[in-house]
Amino acid sequence: MPAAVGVILFMFALYLYEPQSLSEGTFVDVVETYFVMLFFAYVFVGIQSLLYAVAMEFYVNPKFKGHGAVVSISTAIGSVSGLVLGLPFALIGLASGCISGLCVRWMYINAAKNI
C-alpha cells in the first residue's frame, strides 16, 4: 500500500511542478504511467514496503492503543523508507506513511470490531 500511495503523491507533485507532463496524455496514458511507476516503486522500495506491512500488522497495531501513536510510527517508517532514495522522496514517504497509517489503522479497528 505505501508504494501505491507514494506513486500517486509523486504523480501529483510532478503534475503541480510541470502540469503539461500528465495533462497532454489521455486517461489511459496516465493510468499506464501509474502502473509503470508503480512497478519501479516496488523495485526500489519493495523491501521497505514489505517490512512496513509486517511491522504494522504484527507489532505496531496490536501493541499500541492510541491512534495518534500508530499513525506517527507509520509516518516515521514512511519517511525513513523514502529517505533511502533521497530527501524529496523522504517527504513523499512521510505523506505516504501518514496516509497508509490512517488507512491501516482504520482497517485494523474495523476488523477488531467484527471479531
The tens digit of pLDDT for each residue in 32-89 reads: 888 998 998 888 888 888 888 888 889 988 898 888 999 999 999 989 888 888 888 8
Name the grid cell of 69.
501513536
Confidence of residue 22 (pLDDT cuts 50, 70, 90): low
**Size (the chain), residues:** 115
pTM higher than the cut 0.95: no
| pLDDT confidence of residue 42 | 86
Count of the separate structural domains present in the chain:
1
Q: Is the dihedral of CA 17, 19, 24, 27 positive or negative?
A: positive
Would the pLDDT of 15 be above 70?
Answer: yes
- CA separation for the pair 12, 102 (Å, rounded): 20
Which domain, by its residues, includes 68? Answer: 2-114
Main-chain dihedrals φ then ψ at residue 93, nearest 5 degrees: -65, -40
